[in-house]
Amino acid sequence: MKITEFQAHLKEHPEKPLLFILPDGGLIPAHFHITEVGHVKKNFIDCGGTRRSTESCLLQTWTADDTDHRLVAGKLSMIFGKAGDVLPDDQLPVEVEFEDFSVSQFPVTGVQVLDGSLAFQLGLKHTDCLAKELCLPGVCGPAATVNLLGCAPGSGCC
């Protein structure tokens, strides 16, 4: 979900408390705080040598001992309003960061009104090889010798 769609839902339901539904159906505890609205840009080179970049809007959640705390949609909309030029583009995908044993990031994939709350569904992120044509067995070309990864020596494969 992009920032524009995310904010539209917040503005449509300003008084509703927010929920984030984890991919396994569990919930981020309802007393979470949003401690950061950030722009994350990652520049990298994939295993095939291609330069790439990704960008997102990252909402960092944090839970404290104040279990009576509840964030409503209108308040988060106001926090977005203060983000100003931190977010260079309102078409960035929105992700939520949550710590439960380890810190994880989840893309926002959907929304529904659920039991009087505005509930955002979170999805999973996955790793991937972005140079499959170089790295997967049978795709490396007519090499006489192929190692266990399916890559010919000297092919530049991962």
Question: Cα 154 vs. chain centroid, distance in angstroms?
Answer: 35
Asked whether residue 122 falls in the same domain as residue 140, the answer is: no
What percentage of the chain exceeds 90 in pLDDT? 76
**Calpha distance 158→155 (Å, rounded):** 9
Asked whether residue 11 falls in the same domain as residue 52, the answer is: yes
Asked whether residue 106 falls in the same domain as residue 147, the answer is: no
Question: Look-up: residue for tokens 């609205």?
Answer: 37
Asked whether residue 113 falls in the same domain as residue 51, the answer is: yes
Beta strand residue intervals within 22-101, DSSP E: 32-45, 51-63, 94-100
Asked whether residue 119 falls in the same domain as residue 63, the answer is: yes
The predicted structure's pLDDT at residue 47:
87
**Number of domains comprising the chain:** 2
The predicted structure's pLDDT at residue 143:
44
Asked whether residue 18 falls in the same domain as residue 93, the answer is: yes
Residue type, 61: T
**Calpha distance 95→79 (Å, rounded):** 16
Asked whether residue 39 falls in the same domain as residue 108, the answer is: yes
Average pLDDT over residues 37-51: 94
Give the predicted TM-score (pTM) of the model: 0.84
Cα–Cα nearest to 35, from 103, 90, 111 = 103
Q: Which domain holds residue 53?
A: 3-126
